[in-house]
Structure 1
Amino acid sequence: MIEDIDKADSTVVMDEIQLILAEKRTYLSVLRTGIAILALPLSVMSVLVATSRLYDVVNVLHFLIPLGILNLALVGLSIYLIVRAIMRIHFYDRLLYQIKLKKSELADLIE
């Protein structure tokens, strides 16, 4: 009877660990997305700088201002995604560490 309770308890703990690791993978994906979004404005600005001798800034200012606003919005979104993902990944790492401390028999299974 006690062995059944221990097995059920360890099964619940393993399910919790799997759920935490799934959430951590999700936020690693969000981090990757944030980094990819950050690369887009940098690419656009590098193209604009590289081709700046081909146009006059005053004549295309009506294009550059909305593009700059869009780039700032994308940088803000990417910074938000990156910071939030890093915070959540650290949160899930702390949860895994707490489980590792409570369940020493499962500690070798958790990285």
Structure 2
Amino acid sequence: MQPLDFYKSLADETRLLSLLLIEQEGELCVCELMEALDLPQPKISRHLSQLRKIGLLLDRRQGQWVFYRIHPLLHDWMRDILRTTREHSSQLLETPERRLNSMNSRPSSESINV
């Protein structure tokens, strides 16, 4: 992944919040991001697809769910930026985290550590 693609992906609020939530949780499905960000499925899916295509995310299917996680081969400096941004963005993530934590019947994920 090129640095320019990485920074462009962070310039959109939906992509940034999705990445930060996924970085925090380890893995999330589309339905969880829909709930957390209060956005429709097509919009979330389009942004996740873009992030997957440029190499920031990996996806996996588990039954009816598609889970997304940060690509395990992402450069360390990129992971550091995501982590640092998340750690210093409590106000930005407050509402999405509250929505996610109050979500009923979240899908069960057996996280894969690659």
TM-score, normalised to structure 1, is 0.27
TM-score, normalised to structure 2, is 0.26
Which structure: greater helix fraction? 1
Which structure: greater strand fraction? 2
